[in-house]
Amino acid sequence: MDYGITLTEIETARENISGTVVRTPTVPSLSLTRHAGVPVSLKLEHTQVTGSFKLRGAANALASLSEAARTKGVVAVSTGNHGRAVAHAAKVAGVKAVICLSELVPANKVDAIRALGAEVHITGRSQDEAEKEAMRLEREGMTFISPFDHKDVIAGQGTLGLEMLEDMPEVKNVVVPLSGGGLLSGIALAIKARRPDVRLIGVTMSRGAAMYESLKAGHPVEVEEVESLADSLGGGIGLENRYTFAIVRDLVERCLLVEEDELAEAISHAYREEQQVLEGGAAAGIAALLSGRLKPDGPTLLVLSGRNLDMDQHCRLVCGGGAAAKEASNA
């Protein structure tokens, strides 16, 4: 089926972003391999320049701008990581960037975006409310770069899929954090084009999972956005979704939900057993594996998508256990 984004465009995106984005490592996990009983490896995308995978899509979108669009600048709406990526890519490209955020975005992510020189607009209590401000700026002439439902962004995220197949050609299951679906869509398009036998599995939090609820309904739906350890997975998918809903619906075998305490345990496991600092959304695949919600039957690769969490919160999670996790998720 034609989804409007081709393998050739993903391969072109890899060329476009090569000077801005690093190729992140794929490493085996001895602890998760013991737990699962099959080989498990980790794609360390949280070690990306801006601390998350989002830079791939943002850099490709900036590289694809016309000269007129570059002059007028770009605007993005974000739960934090996309905004940081757009701010970084725009700074590298010499383009003005405005990032629209809701009041739920953690202060550490807001500060990081400002530090990159972007203009920050904080509006409302949800990503949908922040998006209204971004749409206003788009009407005034700026180019809107969607955090997920944008073909250049999806193609950029798809470069991860190319790397993972090259690093782990024997892979049977690929597990990806799921929010608006840009990451999972790009990876799915790249992998299915080359290895249709590989199974794609999305994992998201149980609190306010827009894509999960949309897939259940058979069409994009709105959900209430609530606080979660997986704040980077929050927000809607857009009722007029053009790309990611159909791609996830058609190419992804399963979508799983994980609970807040399971996310907390996964963050702690990543630190203690893997020596990796992860934000809640990035730990979703580990949470699914440790909880038994995911029981893979062959070589499995988990995408660790970001590390941009408040380090005081991280300390509470890895040192305080369940009580601290509950406190952090309700903070």
The stretch 108-119 carries a mean pLDDT of: 94
**pLDDT at residue 326 above 50?**
no
User: Do 64 and 47 reside in the same domain of the chain?
Assistant: no
Q: Per residue in 4-42, pLDDT tens?
A: 999 999 999 999 999 999 999 999 999 999 999 999 999
Whether residue 40 is contained in a domain is answered as: yes
- DSSP conformational letter for 122: E
Quickly state the pLDDT bin for 307 (edges 50, 70, 90): very high
Please name the residue ranges forming H helices in 24-174. Answer: 30-36, 54-63, 67-72, 81-93, 107-115, 127-139, 151-167
Side chain identity at residue 113, one-letter code: I
pLDDT (0 to 100) of residue 151: 97
User: Do 99 and 155 reside in the same domain of the chain?
Assistant: no
Q: Per residue in 68-101, pLDDT tens?
A: 999 999 999 988 889 999 999 999 999 999 999 9
User: Do 219 and 295 reside in the same domain of the chain?
Assistant: yes
Whether residue 232 is contained in a domain is answered as: yes
Picking from 311, 308, 310, the residue whose alpha carbon sits closest to that of residue 82 is 308
Whether residue 2 is contained in a domain is answered as: no
The stretch 47-51 carries a mean pLDDT of: 95
Q: Choose the final residue of a domain: 144, 169, 190.
A: 144
User: Do 44 and 86 reside in the same domain of the chain?
Assistant: no
Q: How far is CA 121 from the centre of its chain?
A: 21
User: Do 160 and 171 reside in the same domain of the chain?
Assistant: yes
Picking from 212, 223, 230, the residue whose alpha carbon sits closest to that of residue 287 is 230
pLDDT (0 to 100) of residue 256: 98
Q: What is the token pair recorded at 294?
A: 């995911």
In the three-class reduction of DSSP (H, G, I as helix; E, B as strand; rest coil), residue 147 is classed as: coil
Quickly state the pLDDT bin for 213 (edges 50, 70, 90): very high
* List of residues 6+ apart from 111 with CB closer than 8 A: none
Q: Per residue in 128-168, pLDDT tens?
A: 889 899 999 999 999 999 999 999 999 999 999 999 999 99
Q: What is the mean pLDDT of the chain?
A: 93
Helix (H) or strand (E) holding 28: strand 26-28
- CA pair distance 279, 62, nearest whole angstrom: 26
Quickly state the pLDDT bin for 327 (edges 50, 70, 90): very low
Q: What is the total count of domains within the chain? A: 2
Query: CATH no. for residue 64?
Result: 3.40.50.1100
User: Do 42 and 120 reside in the same domain of the chain?
Assistant: no
Q: Choose the final residue of a domain: 144, 160, 193.
A: 144
Whether residue 179 is contained in a domain is answered as: yes
**pLDDT at residue 119 above 90?**
yes
**pLDDT at residue 54 above 50?**
yes
Q: Which residue has the tokens 């990611």?
A: 244
Domain that holds residue 134: 55-144
The stretch 49-53 carries a mean pLDDT of: 95
Quickly state the pLDDT bin for 236 (edges 50, 70, 90): confident
Q: Which residue has the tokens 């050739």?
A: 8
Whether residue 1 is contained in a domain is answered as: no
Asked if 284 contacts 177 with a C-beta cutoff of 8 angstroms, the reply is: yes
Whether residue 136 is contained in a domain is answered as: yes
pLDDT (0 to 100) of residue 227: 85
User: Do 37 and 179 reside in the same domain of the chain?
Assistant: yes
Q: Choose the final residue of a domain: 144, 169, 199.
A: 144
User: Do 239 and 176 reside in the same domain of the chain?
Assistant: yes
* List of residues 6+ apart from 79 with CB closer than 8 A: 101, 102, 104, 105, 109, 127, 147, 179, 231, 232, 233, 234, 235
User: Do 210 and 291 reside in the same domain of the chain?
Assistant: yes
177 forms beta bridges with: 203
**pLDDT at residue 330 above 50?**
no
User: Do 185 and 37 reside in the same domain of the chain?
Assistant: yes
pLDDT (0 to 100) of residue 321: 53
Whether residue 242 is contained in a domain is answered as: yes
User: Do 111 and 37 reside in the same domain of the chain?
Assistant: no
User: Do 175 and 250 reside in the same domain of the chain?
Assistant: yes
Whether residue 79 is contained in a domain is answered as: yes
**pLDDT at residue 56 above 50?**
yes
